[in-house]
Every structure is written in structure tokens, then in C-alpha cells.
Amino acid sequence: MAENYNSKDIVILEGLDAVRLRPGMYIGTTGIKGMHHLLWEIVDNSIDEIANGYGDKIVITMHTDNSITVKDNGRGIPVDKHPTLKVSGVQVVFTQLHAGGKFNNSNYSYSGGLHGVGASVTNALSEWLKVEVCREGQKYAMQFKCVKKGKDKYSGGVPVAPLQHIGPTDETGTTVTFKPDDKIFKDCLFDAEIIAKRVRELAFLNKGITIELINENEIEELGNQRRVYNYTEGLKEFIKFINEKNSVLYKEPIYIEAKTNLVELSCAIQHVDLYSENVFSYVNNIPTPEGGMHETGLKSGITRAFNEIARSLNLLKEKDINLLGEDYREGMTVVLAIKMKNVQFEGQTKTKLGNPEARQEVENIIYEGLMNFANQTSSKQVLTDIINKAKGAAKARDAARKAKEITRQKNSVDSYSLVGKLSSCTGRNPLLNEVFIVEGDSAGGSAKQARDRSFQAILPLRGKPLNVEKKRISQVLENEEIRTIISAVGTGIGNDFNIEHLKYNKIIIMADADQDGAHIRAILLTFFYRYMRELINTGHVYVAIAPLYKIYKKGFEKYVYNEEDYDAIVKETGSGYSVARFKGLGEMSAEQLWETTMNPAKRVLVQVTIDDLADAEEMITTLMGDNVEARKKYITSNANFNKVDTFEQRSKKK
């Protein structure tokens, strides 16, 4: 240990070196999600141009070498020299952290990129980056690259030369091409489906914009190389897309649009024949899955307006008490998008809006919008159907008062008997503890023997949990397995969820690698998504990956976790090997289960995340809802029925 700590020990990281040293501070991860974050930073800059009235088209081109191009027809980055730094605006934007035109409202009224680190971080973490700017009738270009500074030391985003003047042009806008540095993003490739989902969402949120995605890795003759997203009705089309596999209460969504001195708001509302509510909210095109003040205002406005409308239609009598907001929101899908200046997001992740002034403003706009809708002669039947559905929800709520109290009073849930079900751990620090939700008593018994009881708890499921997708809360809470999970986790559910009462830092689903196991995982994930979504948003839910095979011979053994690795491991093993196939967790000994699936040093866990709420909603509705045709179509499109390389055939090969 160094005994002297002086000024000479303070390291000054120049330029973008800090980004390369600690990339996770800027993009979250150096995996595939972080690599795509580099793209979003550039795309968001183009979207900000368009959202502020400059340009209407973005073209994203995926190249075969894993580089990618983003081209817009906005104003173009300023090319004149910065008064202080004495270099071009282009160089400033791509080499200086916290440099940008979004810190005041003179150039961008609305912006998602408020921290001014986007383009420079993308540059810092790229092998090379090229930018072309068309502005005021002239074209300019500049290149940057990663430079080796010493043994295993690199400096990213170094200018190859100053900004070059190319010549006259009729175009306007900025084109950025970059290749992520594979020294940072090992074995990562851009994924066309991930990109398509995000740009589709951006096209919905910015009606009239055209976003084109070109994938040069695809074969042009097959017609899947080019995709174009353009939605003239914006959120109306978005909510129809979300609900296309559901039975809707009314065909045309209720649409509210308004602009005040504080916010610019668009909102679409549509009810479906389900019991859960779904709110998809955005601020300046950024998803806010944790909600915030705009969602609070939305819900208040909806409750206030519908209670007044119910009385005006005589669907609520004078003697009747007002319905609760949750009654009106049963089966309601809402897409809310606002744009505002001086946004205050809670946390660097920008997932929750903190501006208190947004609450009252959004409430007033939603209230007035719904009251205006009520004044339309064609709206009476739609409103009657909504209010009658809400009255049905209220009756169910009253009839199931005891079950409802369980969801509202955490102590009632926690008092549910877990004797003989949960094998708790001895550790008392929730941050260190984890619970395995295990399929079946047999696997549960092995897991109890295998675990490290100092921090690992085991909760065996003795029957298949309820598919909660089309059930009211009273029905959900009648299911013994669901109640057991609620008690074990400790947070409560729904409106009474409190993350501070979480008993385990990791909630790990451990099921067999077969059809039944996949079904149980889907059921459990649907439950967490519908009733404990914050557990997923905050990264507490995992799926344990159990091995499919053990390949072994004298002095050698290796476990195979997926079919793709089988042949490679066989080749590594050489001749004279044997293969054991695991048909279920219950077939493993406690030692094998610990070694392959439960030991933190060796196990494979998949953290469950939601990158796209609309896409997650579509997936759960498709797989867990009642639309058989939609589910059949999805399975037919995604399942590989041609995979015949079974264990038995492999055994014959051997």
C-alpha cells in the first residue's frame, strides 16, 4: 500500500480518455446494449433537430463491417470556429464532453440529449468516426480515429486533420459514420431488430418524420434490406399497433393534443378487454418507464374528467360515490408524449420525470381534452362503454374487498404462511441475498441441498402458477403459488409495491430447459411484468440457465448450455467421450446443480430487462393472451421446427 499520497498522484485524464477508462459511467455497459447506446446518441441528435422543426428524414445504414451511418436533413452542425477553443464547432461537438447547443433554449426548445456527452462519447469509443456537414450551401468533412499511446493504452476520438471544406452542395444536414471499437465491445454486432424497434417508436412519436433503415448485411433480392417508417397519425397509429392483438372496447382511440407555454402534449387512449392498465410515457422522445409527474397528472385528469362525464350521462347517480382512478384505468392503454424545456429527469438513466410543474399542466390538458371529447355527439357510446367497464371494475373491487386489502396492506401479504414452502437463508442483508423460484418439489429438494444457505433461499413451486394476463387481482390472489411468491419477495404488488421492502437482491427463476419449463418462465415473467414491474426495471429479476448436456471422458468434463456450443465442445473433447443429457433439474445431483446453475462463480444468469415497453407489451399479449391466431403466427414465425439434431441422433453419430 502506498503510504504517501501527494498531488503528483492525481491523474488528469485528457480529452476523451475518461470515457475509455470508465465507459460504463457513460453508456452503462460494454455489452451489446452499450454499443447500441452509441448509435442512440447520434440518432437522438438527429431527432432533436427534427423535433425542433429542422428536417424531416433520417437514414440509418448498417454496413457489413459493423460500422453504421446516420444521415439527417437538419441544419448541420456549426462549422465556424469556437470563440474560446479556436477550433470548428464540429471538432468541439465530437471531442469535448459536456459541449453542445442544448444547454439553453435558443437553438433547441426540446431536447432529449441534455448532458452534452452524446457525440463525443460515441467518438471516444469508436475505432474511427467520420462526419460530413452540409450547411449554408457548403459541404465539410472531418475524421477521427483511435490512436495507440503505449502498451495497451489508446486514446479515442483523435482528429486526423482539421475540418476540411469539400465544396458547394444543395443539401443540408449531418452524416455520421462510425465503427465501435472492438477492443471495448468484444464480440458485439449491431442488431437490425433492436434498431428497428427503437426507430419505429421514434417514428410513432414524431408524426410525419421518415426514418429509413438499410441493412447491407441482408440480401436485397429478398426485400428485407430496406425498411421505412412513417406515421402520419403518430400516437393514434402507435396505440393501434400496441393493441392490434387485443379485443378493443372501441375502434378509434381518444386523441388529445395541445400546446401551452410549458408543454407540448400528445396523448392517445384506448380500452381493451383486459384488466391491467398500460401507460407508455415519453418526455422529449425519451421513454420514462418509471413514470413521474406527467403520469401523475395524466391519471388525475382521467379520473376527474370521467367522474364528471359519468354524472353528466346519468351513469353515476347523485347518491353514488365517485369511482376510483383504477376503475377507469382497468384495461386502459395510454400513450402519453410531452415535450418541455428544462427537463429534470431523476437519475442519469432519465427514466422518471421530476418537474413538479408538469403534473398540474398535464392534468388540466387531459381533463379539458376529455371534456371536449365528451361534447362530441359521436362520443356518447364510447364513453358509456368506458364508464360501464369502470363500474364493473368497481363492483369486482367491492366484491373482492378482502383480496384487495391483501394487495394494499403489505403486512397481510407478508403474513401468508410460508412454512414448508420457502427455505430461507441465514443471512439478513437483502443486498447480498437471493431467492431461487424452482419448478417442482424434486428440483426444489436438490436446490435446497445444493445451495449456500448463508445467502441463497429456495422457493419450490408445487403447481403451475396462474397466467395472470386475463385475470382480475382478486383471482390472481386466490392462486396459492402467486401468494407464496408475493410473501417471499416482500414488496407488495400493484399500487402498494415498495422496493424498499425487497427481501432479496436477486430473484432467480430456475425451471427445466423444456416446453413446460419455458411456459412456467413465461407465466412468472408475466406476473412480475404486470404486478411488480419495478423489480424488472431495477434489475432484480433473473433467469438461471441450466445445462443441456455434460460431455466427459477421463480427466475431462464440460457442460453444454446451448445447442450452438455442442459441436465445438465435442471437437475440443476429442474421441472417446460420453454424453449425459439433462432432461430436467430434478435429474441433477445436488453437486451438479450447484456446480452448473447455482454457484455464483460458474453459473450463467440472464438478467431480465425491458428495453422497449411497447415491444414487451406486444410479446406478452401475443404469448399469454387469448388471441390464438396471433400466438400461432408468432410461434410459426419464430420456432425452428427443422432442428432435428437431437440427443439420440448425436449419440448415434458418436
**382 or 51: which carries more pLDDT confidence?**
382
Residue of 514, 527, 428 lying closest to 484 (CA atoms): 527
Taking the C-alpha atoms of residue 339 and residue 348, their distance in angstroms, rounded to an integer, is 18
Catalytic residue, candidates 514, 572, 591, 611 = 514
Catalytic residue, candidates 127, 181, 439, 617 = 439
359 pLDDT band (50/70/90 cuts)? very high
Q: At what angle do helices 480-489 and 515-531 cross, to 10 degrees?
A: 60
CB-based contacts of 28, cutoff 8 Å, min separation 6: 34, 37, 349
**196 and 83, same domain (yes or no):** yes
Catalytic residue, candidates 182, 220, 516, 645 = 516
Residue 291 lies in a domain: yes
**24 and 95, same domain (yes or no):** yes
Task: Name the percent of the chain lying above pLDDT 90.
Answer: 50
Please tell me the predicted confidence (pLDDT) of residue 9. Answer: 41
**213 and 199, same domain (yes or no):** yes
**225 and 245, same domain (yes or no):** no
Express each pLDDT in 103-159 by its tens digit: 445 555 555 553 345 799 999 999 999 999 999 999 999 999 999 887 778 888 999
Express each pLDDT in 268-285 by its tens digit: 999 999 888 999 999 999
**295 and 197, same domain (yes or no):** no
Cα angle value 93/94/96 (rounded, 5°): 70
Mean residue pLDDT of the chain comes to 85
Please tell me the predicted confidence (pLDDT) of residue 5. Answer: 38
| Inter-residue contact 293 to 353 (CB < 8 Å) | yes
**435 and 530, same domain (yes or no):** yes
439 has catalytic annotation: yes
Please tell me the predicted confidence (pLDDT) of residue 476. Answer: 84
| Inter-residue contact 456 to 434 (CB < 8 Å) | yes
Catalytic residue, candidates 48, 512, 595, 617 = 512
Taking the C-alpha atoms of residue 581 and residue 645, their distance in angstroms, rounded to an integer, is 14
Please tell me the predicted confidence (pLDDT) of residue 140. Answer: 97
Which of 364, 399, 434 terminates a domain? The answer is 399
Express each pLDDT in 65-115 by its tens digit: 999 999 999 999 999 988 888 889 899 889 887 655 544 455 555 555 533
Highest mean pLDDT among 167-181, 348-362, 485-499: 167-181
Q: Does 14 have pLDDT greater than 70?
A: no
| Inter-residue contact 114 to 102 (CB < 8 Å) | yes
Other C-beta atoms within 10 Å of 52: how many? 17
Residue 251 lies in a domain: yes
Taking the C-alpha atoms of residue 315 and residue 306, their distance in angstroms, rounded to an integer, is 11
**214 and 123, same domain (yes or no):** yes
Q: What is the Rg, in whole angstroms, of the alpha carbon atoms belonging to the chain?
A: 28
Residue 557 lies in a domain: no
Number of domains in the chain: 3
Which of 399, 434, 456 terminates a domain? The answer is 399
230 pLDDT band (50/70/90 cuts)? very high
Cα angle value 582/587/590 (rounded, 5°): 110
- How large is the average pLDDT for residues 229-246? 95
Please tell me the predicted confidence (pLDDT) of residue 415. Answer: 47
Q: Does 647 have pLDDT greater than 50?
A: no
Domain span at residue 463 reads 405-546+606-610
Highest mean pLDDT among 204-218, 550-564, 572-586, 598-612: 204-218
What is the DSSP secondary-structure string of 588-625?
Answer: S-HHHHIIIII-TTT--EEE---S-HHHHHHHHHHHHS
Task: Name the percent of the chain lying above pLDDT 70.
Answer: 85
Q: Does 555 have pLDDT greater than 90?
A: no
CB-based contacts of 35, cutoff 8 Å, min separation 6: 180, 185, 188, 190
Taking the C-alpha atoms of residue 282 and residue 169, their distance in angstroms, rounded to an integer, is 36
Q: Does 334 have pLDDT greater than 50?
A: yes
**Is the pTM value of this prediction over 0.85?**
no
**36 and 172, same domain (yes or no):** yes
Cα angle value 338/341/344 (rounded, 5°): 85
Q: Which long-range contacts (CB under 8 A, 24 or more apart) does 78-87 make?
A: 78/135, 79/133, 79/135, 79/138, 79/140, 79/163, 87/162
Residue 569 lies in a domain: no
Taking the C-alpha atoms of residue 467 and residue 465, their distance in angstroms, rounded to an integer, is 7
Give me the CATH number covering residue 320: 3.30.230.10
**304 or 634: which carries more pLDDT confidence?**
304
Classify residue 248 by its DSSP letter: B
- How large is the average pLDDT for residues 423-432? 92
Residue 633 lies in a domain: no
For residue 499, give the C-alpha cell: 422496493
**419 and 500, same domain (yes or no):** yes
626 has catalytic annotation: no
Please tell me the predicted confidence (pLDDT) of residue 642. Answer: 40
**Helices marked H in 460-544 — which ranges?**
473-476, 480-489, 515-531, 533-537
Q: Does 636 have pLDDT greater than 70?
A: no
Classify residue 209 by its DSSP letter: -
Sign of torsion over alpha carbons 398, 272, 255, 381: negative
Q: Does 396 have pLDDT greater than 60?
A: yes
Lowest-confidence region among 26-30, 169-173, 327-331, 499-503:
26-30
Please tell me the predicted confidence (pLDDT) of residue 563. Answer: 78
Highest mean pLDDT among 226-235, 540-549, 559-568: 226-235
**246 and 219, same domain (yes or no):** no
Residue 596 lies in a domain: no
| Inter-residue contact 116 to 83 (CB < 8 Å) | no
Residue 563 lies in a domain: no
Q: Does 404 have pLDDT greater than 60?
A: no
**281 and 381, same domain (yes or no):** yes
| Inter-residue contact 264 to 274 (CB < 8 Å) | no
Residue 634 lies in a domain: no
Please tell me the predicted confidence (pLDDT) of residue 519. Answer: 86
Q: Would you report the helix, strand and coil content of the chain in percent, each value rounded to 5?
A: 40, 20, 40
Other C-beta atoms within 10 Å of 398: how many? 9
3-state class (DSSP) for residue 101: coil
Please tell me the predicted confidence (pLDDT) of residue 586. Answer: 78
345 pLDDT band (50/70/90 cuts)? confident
Which of 230, 263, 281 terminates a domain? The answer is 230
639 pLDDT band (50/70/90 cuts)? low
Give me the CATH number covering residue 449: 3.40.50.670
For residue 533, give the C-alpha cell: 414491474
**209 and 353, same domain (yes or no):** no
Q: Which amino acid is at 128?
A: W
Q: Which amino acid is at 46?
A: S
Q: Does 584 have pLDDT greater than 90?
A: no
Q: Given phi > 0 = left and psi -120 to 50 = alpha, else beta, which region is 490? A: left
User: By CB neighbour count within 10 A (0-12 exposed, 13-18 middle, 19+ buried), where does 545 fall?
Assistant: middle
What is the DSSP secondary-structure string of 527-594?
Answer: HHHHH-HHHHHTT-EEEE---SEEEEETTEEEEE-SHHHHHHHHHHH-SS-EEEE---GGGS-HHHHI
